[in-house]
Structure 1
């Protein structure tokens, strides 16, 4: 396995170093008549190791996205993109749910990167300075992706079949989406979890108030009844969430910046949800950057009434509550995540452009009942060689009242143009 990983890593790096033109961003090809064609190529090679008490996993996967965007000077464009993932080393369970498929390997720990080939995006878009409209299968990342995101960390990203409109009206920006399908990270071979259909509405209105950006938002999730019958990870998936978010950056000195972010939302039952409840979502984070050094601390609460908790089934959840991914579905008692970390950018290391490192600590408790779930350390190191981005990450979850001890390690090379 180690020889295979080293060989694949050396091959990807040598291609990028020996042929930089292949890795450089490609300029659009002018076709005449105001038309241009912009190629899309994105490749990611990754090794992921998982260590748990009863099982473990070793996965080497290669993901390639390829397509093109045809643009007209009027602002109209048509984008088509395919996505394929192959498993070079398959000692992992690609499907963490019951399904009859050769990639369902419960003897191994979960690495949610199934092998597949599928249509990732197919969208028609009109874009001008004050207005953008997008129709079709598309990538949607809203705010910090806590409620809606593309789950970009996994090899197969999440997309939506949707109509989206964005408008800028002076100091106010508006964003409205109606989606009929959530295309999951598990791909075309995931049976009932390939996609979740329904009526989904994402609304947002934002404005700049001095140095602070303020936004009000609403997420209305109405899954089809058949989806509620067992394919979804939670029975209270039909929810309505109303809230607000504020972010701001404050220059304290020439090389010192204070970054603040805060969110509050109220989530309750909606449409066919069998329960009746109201629970709170609260998040606050402060970060201080002193030149190349950064420090941050934060708190996030996914509230619970004891039986129902805040759920975010369309989020990029790897960004939240630790990289070990123990809390992809919020426990019924909710979760409180206290966290803090430090980071540093090594600008003086010229041989490794963009070299940066970060360490974060999380302490998890239940919102209801004050149960200590566990503690987690996350660490990352990244840099670039030519156009190849190289990233190493590590997660160490120490279980107390939830889940099992889990350690994960990733080594990743990525190139796009």
Structure 2
């Protein structure tokens, strides 16, 4: 890969090594996935995984080069990782063992433009359509060229061309869960800082050009608009967002379909207490598999419940009505950024409006020094889709 060779050359050049920044972060996580009695699996899943990323960034003037590797090991591997083991014995926890190059990029940065070439993270807006999948240990990166331009004050153009998506399945990925998915993917954003908030128009041409990955059926073209803003209300802060998009088949996708996406979300931060509510719809076309609105490049864990029941949108689409409540403290003794929260989801189909199920998600987290500890719990109660599921996580993240 030519960008990687150029990167290694710059890293090795004494003339370029004016500013050297080490990159190190580590994660230790326990994840438990309790099987439902009716799902036919004889055992629960328990995973203790350790993930380390280490690298270096070298900068000189407007230029920088970055290389970062990652390794993930299973200390306790009583789970199906999606690649090895038996899916008929234990539930899936998508953290296979892995040792790989995570990022390798060259970047030019000025006041008006940033251009990045190579293996890189790309996270757009709230990551609903394009994200880094940071919750999974291996993450998602892109072999891409990205240009971020600011031609006028308050206006930003962000365009990427990606020829490969490096997946969470790591170097041993194969078949439908490949280590990388090739294709000519174009991601374009045009954002304007309007008086009401950031108004963004976007076009995502996703080319999943691999027959083994759903027979090309995840290739799509999505066009939409998003408004996100923040307003003071007395001593409190009101945040809001609204989004609409339309998706249809693209490139070699054999399906002929179109589906809409809608989102309305509001939240109030009362300097401690936090309340929020929203309604998100991933629409359906005719009720056939993969003809509903799909988001294969999203950080899907952030949306529609942590139990991960809706990573692939069902054929009849999904309507997610949700409400959240929580409390945050800047500090409690030696602990910083302390917060607790809960989210309730009610899931229905978009087509025929059938109740899928409900979910409760709970979170507590705090930071001590450079370590963030988090405790999560998710419980999905099935009605007409999937089975009852509960998951539990205890996680420590450390960053240099």
Common topology (TM > 0.5) = yes
* TM-superposed deviation, 1:231: 2.6
The aligned counterpart of 1:68 is: 56
* TM-superposed deviation, 1:32: 7.2
* TM-superposed deviation, 1:211: 3.8
The answer to whether structure 1 residue 216 and structure 2 residue 197 are counterparts is: no
Give unpaired runs (5+ residues) of structure 2.
1-13
TM-score, normalised relative to structure 1: 0.88
Secondary structure (helix, strand or coil) at the match of 1:389 reads strand
Superposed CA deviations along residues 61-111 of structure 1, whole A, max 9, x for unmatched, are 0000000011112x111100000001000001100xxx5x4x455411111
The answer to whether structure 1 residue 152 and structure 2 residue 134 are counterparts is: yes
Superposed CA deviations along residues 349-397 of structure 1, whole A, max 9, x for unmatched, are 2232221100000000000011110000000000112211100000000
1:93 pairs with one of 77, 80, 87: 80
1:82 and 1:105 mapped to 2: Cα distance? 29
Whether the 8 Å contact between 2:216 and 2:252 is mirrored in structure 1 is no
C-alpha distance 347-238 of structure 1, shift in aligned 2 (>3 A):
closer
The answer to whether structure 1 residue 401 and structure 2 residue 389 are counterparts is: no
2:295 pairs with one of 299, 312, 322: 312
The aligned counterpart of 2:7 is: none
* TM-superposed deviation, 1:56: 1.4
1:179 pairs with one of 153, 162, 177: 162
Q: 1:117-136 alignment to 2 at 5 Å?
A: 117-136=99-118
1:59 pairs with one of 27, 44, 47: 47
1:390 and 1:110 mapped to 2: Cα distance? 24
1:369 and 1:105 mapped to 2: Cα distance? 31
Q: 1:188-267 alignment to 2 at 5 Å?
A: 188-192=171-175, 193-224=178-209, 227=210, 229-232=211-214, 236-253=217-234, 255-267=235-247
The aligned counterpart of 1:342 is: 325
1:60 and 1:290 mapped to 2: Cα distance? 37
* TM-superposed deviation, 1:52: 1.6
* TM-superposed deviation, 1:34: 7.0
The answer to whether structure 1 residue 277 and structure 2 residue 257 are counterparts is: yes
2:329 and 2:160 mapped to 1: Cα distance? 40
C-alpha distance 352-169 of structure 1, shift in aligned 2 (>3 A):
same
C-alpha distance 207-365 of structure 1, shift in aligned 2 (>3 A):
same
The answer to whether structure 1 residue 288 and structure 2 residue 268 are counterparts is: yes
Whether the 8 Å contact between 2:142 and 2:164 is mirrored in structure 1 is yes
1:52 and 1:42 mapped to 2: Cα distance? 32
Secondary structure (helix, strand or coil) at the match of 2:276 reads strand
User: What is the alpha-carbon root mean square deviation over aligned residues?
Assistant: 1.4
* TM-superposed deviation, 1:277: 1.8
TM-score, normalised relative to structure 2: 0.91
1:81 pairs with one of 55, 62, 68: 68
**What is the total number of aligned residue pairs between the two structures?**
376
Give unpaired runs (5+ residues) of structure 1.
1-30
